[in-house]
Amino acid sequence: MALPESFVSQLTGLFASPAAENPTGAIVEAAYRHAGLNARYVTCEVGPAGLEAAVRGAVAMGWAGFHCSLPHKIAVVKHLDELAQAAELIGAVNCVVIRDGRLIGENTDGQGFLTSLRATVEPKGQRIVILGAGGAARAIAFELALAGAGHILIVSRRREVGEGLARDLRERTSTDASAAHWHTPFAVPADTQILINATSVGLFPDVGAKPEIDYSTVAAQMIVADIIPNPPRTAFLNEVEARGCEVIDGLGMLVNQAVIAIRSWNGIEADAQVMRETLTEIFG
Ligand code: NDP
């Protein structure tokens, strides 16, 4: 006789509005299964009006933690008990850890990127160019600054947003930062050591699109990263790889932020390879 369903020992999940296509659930569940953990990751559609109740509900049900996607990344902050350093600096939270009933806000997007980058190069002292000044660019920029980046140049279409991010980096970290207004094909400065596409250009289904830069200014010794996870091999990465650059794809960032979340929630070291394979299946 089949046994009645037993309690799940650890509940985790995502609060998203509206329930957007999000591959994190699939990779976290794959990691749980691989580790033989009695844990689940549930994607919940939570509207802005229901966020506070959803947060309280997670505490009441003994969840280990949850992710927040847009538009909750900033709104969730006022419902939390404390913020980790990077989340405080970035001003946004994508991952909440519930410990002894206390809600701790973290931002693991930048940390996920940093882990991925460090497999190729240590950012300390490096001259880094970031294309874009949105939420992901902000998280990555602060994490790179905390890791001791030498100089960060923010390139953005909206001048005031890029300048605001560069000013925040200068004022709140010890890294030097500046901004460039992106109005024509951007010429990458010759002394750039790491170039990062943190825009949404190239994301599926717009897979032929590339950031508008002067590709003749991309030199072979530059290390180039794209944060677009789908497709993993973007037109941007293909173009710079053909110019001799070593490249880093966006899958690593996505996998590593999940590894960090699982470490905080469940106290285990998740198998990154299992998650990467799951993503590769999803994205084809
Ligand atoms: P935002 O909407 O906050 O930011 C998008 C940025 O891209 C803005 O700076 C925007 O500029 C810029 N941008 C968009 N189109 C263009 C263009 N044609 N030319 C120049 N700049 C452009 O999004 P997020 O920062 O949250 O996410 C950005 C991308 O990163 C998404 O595609 C997402 O999939 C990916 N991502 C990947 C993660 C991973 O784990 N690999 C994690 C998080 C995000 P403007 O403000 O001028 O419009």
158 lines ligand 1 (CB under 6 A): yes
| Top CATH class, 111-249 | alpha beta
Q: Do domains 6-106+252-283 and 111-249 have the same CATH topology?
A: yes
CB-based contact 249:237 (threshold 8 Å): yes
249 lines ligand 1 (CB under 6 A): no
Please list the residues that pair with 130 across neighbouring strands: 154, 196
State the residue for tokens 């890029």: 162
Which atom of ligand 1 is found nearest the CA of 212?
Answer: 19
226 lines ligand 1 (CB under 6 A): no
Please list the residues that pair with 237 across neighbouring strands: none
Best residue among 199, 210, 247 to mutate for probing ligand 1, ranked by most atoms within 8 Å of CB? 199
pLDDT, one tens digit per residue, over 110-131 is: 999 999 999 999 999 999 999 9
| Top CATH class, 6-106+252-283 | alpha beta
Q: Residue ranges per domain, the chain? A: 6-106+252-283, 111-249
Report angle CA 13, 18, 21 to the nearest 5 degrees: 65
Return the closest-CA partner of residue 87 out of 103, 63, 101. Answer: 103
3-state SS class at 60: helix
pTM: 0.95
Active site annotation includes 210: no
pLDDT, one tens digit per residue, over 14-54 is: 998 765 677 899 999 999 999 999 999 999 999 999 999 99
pLDDT, one tens digit per residue, over 146-175 is: 999 999 999 999 999 999 999 999 999 999
Which atom of ligand 1 is found nearest the CA of 136?
Answer: 25
Query: How far is 171 from 58, CA to CA, in rounded Å?
Result: 36
